[in-house]
Amino acid sequence: MTFGIFVTWVLMGVLAGVLAGLVIERGGRGLKKDIMFGLAGSIGLSWLLRAIGVISGSGLLAAAVVALAGAAIAIVAQRKIRPSEHGDDMNADVWWQWGLGAAVAVIMGWMMFGPAQQPTATAAAIDDKTYAVTPATLTLKAGIVTGEVTDMKVTERIEQGSGRVVSPAKLTARIALKNSSTSQTVRLVAGKIQYIDAQGRPITLEDNRADPIVKFSNSERLDPGQETTESLDVDFPVEALKANTLKTIRLNLAYVPSPYHEETANFPVSIGAK
């Protein structure tokens, strides 16, 4: 049962109570009691018929007819079984009757014939558009730091249908770095990506986009031969998506080298039973 169906039951009960004093004046107990009997009859009969499956799935019009019939049965039964023994002065209830009747009619008319509620617009689907970077794996050497860049690709998010760019292009990859020195430690500071065109000039990012910086966690230290892997996820210029525009991706790597020493200490010992 929907909320609209229940409201229909209530409105039909009120309407029957309002009309009762106008149609069957004799034996009535006043507007309030008529409405109470109308509500009891409309809700009671409607609930009973729905419970046994007689009006299951019916629309508003069928629900209104059943509810009005139930209210009428309850009010007529009251008039026949327990009528009022004295005539009530109905003049005081006339304005309430007409007012409530008009209100119920307007509400029911709006519910049945008013404009249907438009369905909520669903969010447009978003697709990831991926541009392959060739080659996808590159070796790098920056002084005593060597390594490789793997799984390079550029991705932007596009709204289906309209083709609108939801999220501008991003360059993602994995960077594996190694301290190839045998005598120095390395403290990685940061790296900066530059996009170079065919004329050797940097391709700038659009306004309000972040500089493509590679950050290393906790200024990571690499001892001789030690390796580390970082994830790359930086903004990529729209201009570089055009064919034959981008020629080189440059990584400017900043690190602090320091001497690495190994010394030997001897501890004379002996092992014996106590």
Number of Cβ atoms within 10 Å of the Cβ of 131: 14
Higher-confidence position of 15 and 113? 15
**12: three-class secondary structure by DSSP:** helix
- The amino acid that residue 12 corresponds to is M
Q: Read off the pTM.
A: 0.52
Check whether residue 106 and residue 134 sit in a common domain: no
Assess if residue 173 is contained within a domain.
yes
Check whether residue 239 and residue 141 sit in a common domain: yes
Check whether residue 148 and residue 102 sit in a common domain: no
Only one residue has tokens 């010394």, namely 263
User: How many whole angstroms separate alpha carbon 2 and alpha carbon 198?
Assistant: 67
Task: Give the residue among 224, 134, 228 at the shortest CA–CA distance from 175.
Answer: 228
Q: Out of 78-87, 114-123, 181-190, which region has the weakest mean confidence (pLDDT)?
A: 114-123
Q: Is 159 exposed, middle or buried (0-12, 13-18, 19+ CB in 10 A)?
A: middle
User: How many whole angstroms separate alpha carbon 5 and alpha carbon 49?
Assistant: 13
Q: Out of 30-34, 210-214, 233-237, which region has the weakest mean confidence (pLDDT)?
A: 30-34
Q: Is 19 exposed, middle or buried (0-12, 13-18, 19+ CB in 10 A)?
A: buried
Is the pLDDT at 271 greater than 70? The verdict is yes
For residue 171, the model assigns a pLDDT of 92
Check whether residue 187 and residue 227 sit in a common domain: yes
Check whether residue 88 and residue 151 sit in a common domain: no
User: How many whole angstroms separate alpha carbon 120 and alpha carbon 72?
Assistant: 39
Check whether residue 253 and residue 148 sit in a common domain: yes
User: How many whole angstroms separate alpha carbon 195 and alpha carbon 147?
Assistant: 20
Assess if residue 269 is contained within a domain.
no
Of 72, 90, 113, which closes a domain? 113
For residue 172, the model assigns a pLDDT of 92
- The amino acid that residue 130 corresponds to is T
User: How many whole angstroms separate alpha carbon 237 and alpha carbon 240?
Assistant: 5
For residue 48, the model assigns a pLDDT of 79
Assess if residue 270 is contained within a domain.
no
Assess if residue 62 is contained within a domain.
yes
Over residues 158-186, the mean pLDDT reads 89
Number of domains in the chain: 2
Number of Cβ atoms within 10 Å of the Cβ of 151: 13
Give the pLDDT band (50/70/90) at residue 74: confident
Is the pLDDT at 155 greater than 90? The verdict is yes
Check whether residue 131 and residue 77 sit in a common domain: no
User: How many whole angstroms separate alpha carbon 25 and alpha carbon 94?
Assistant: 12
User: How many whole angstroms separate alpha carbon 45 and alpha carbon 47?
Assistant: 6
Is the pLDDT at 85 greater than 60? The verdict is no
Check whether residue 136 and residue 238 sit in a common domain: yes
Give the pLDDT band (50/70/90) at residue 109: low
Query: Contact 74/46 with Cβ under 8 angstroms?
Result: no
Of 85, 113, 141, which closes a domain? 113
Residue 171 β-bridge partners: 154, 234
Range of the domain at 93: 3-113
Is the pLDDT at 88 greater than 70? The verdict is no
